[in-house]
């Protein structure tokens, strides 16, 4: 085997359909576009969502709901996660940097600490927001909370 006798596997290469190259090709004449009508013309493009004159779906369905532009979205971190981090890495302070390093959040996320689970370690926790019950649980364990 050498470079002069290399070729692709049998059936892996298909020849391109050459449209509009005369009657001998079998694809001349109407060039696979059928007879007359807008779709046979050059420059034709159908409107997005056009359903052949039937009432389009975006007009059949009612409008509903709304998006609050002032909503602040937080990444939820539970007390269980904080306790796990404290145990694994022997931490007394847990902040945004530690959560990023552990892979729980990325730098763009805002963090809210929620009260699911238990916390035994006395930690200084820094986050953007806390639920009331999470704050109480951290204080009860002898820790402190710092809001950013």
pTM (global) more than 0.85:
no
pLDDT digits 0-9 by tens, 54-82: 999 999 999 999 999 999 999 999 999 99
**Domains in the chain and their CATH numbers?**
74-147 (3.100.10.10)
Residue 74 confidence (pLDDT): 97
Q: What average pLDDT does this structure show over 95-110?
A: 94
Retrieve residue 138's tokens.
Answer: 């951290």
pLDDT digits 0-9 by tens, 104-123: 999 999 999 999 999 999 99
Which bin fits 75, alpha (ψ -120 to 50), beta or left (φ > 0)? beta
Mean pLDDT of the chain: 94
Chain-centroid distance of CA 89 in Å reads 31
Q: Residue 94 in contact with residue 124, Cβ under 8 Å?
A: yes
Residue 86 confidence (pLDDT): 92
pLDDT digits 0-9 by tens, 7-48: 999 999 999 999 999 999 999 999 999 999 999 999 999 999
């Amino acid at each position: 085997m050498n470079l002069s006798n290399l070729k692709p596997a049998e059936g892996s290469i298909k020849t391109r359909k050459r449209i509009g190259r005369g009657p001998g090709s079998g694809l001349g004449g109407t060039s696979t576009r059928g007879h007359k009508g807008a779709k046979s013309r050059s420059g034709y493009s159908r409107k997005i969502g056009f359903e052949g004159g039937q009432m389009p779906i975006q007009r059949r369905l009612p409008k509903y709901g709304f998006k609050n532009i002032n909503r602040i979205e937080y990444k939820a971190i539970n007390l269980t996660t904080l306790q796990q981090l404290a145990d694994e890495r022997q931490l007394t302070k847990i902040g945004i940097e530690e959560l990023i390093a552990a892979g729980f959040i990325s730098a763009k996320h805002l963090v809210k600490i929620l009260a699911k689970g238990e916390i035994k370690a006395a930690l200084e926790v820094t986050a953007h927001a806390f639920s009331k019950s999470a704050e109480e649980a951290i204080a009860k364990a002898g820790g402190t909370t710092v809001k950013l």
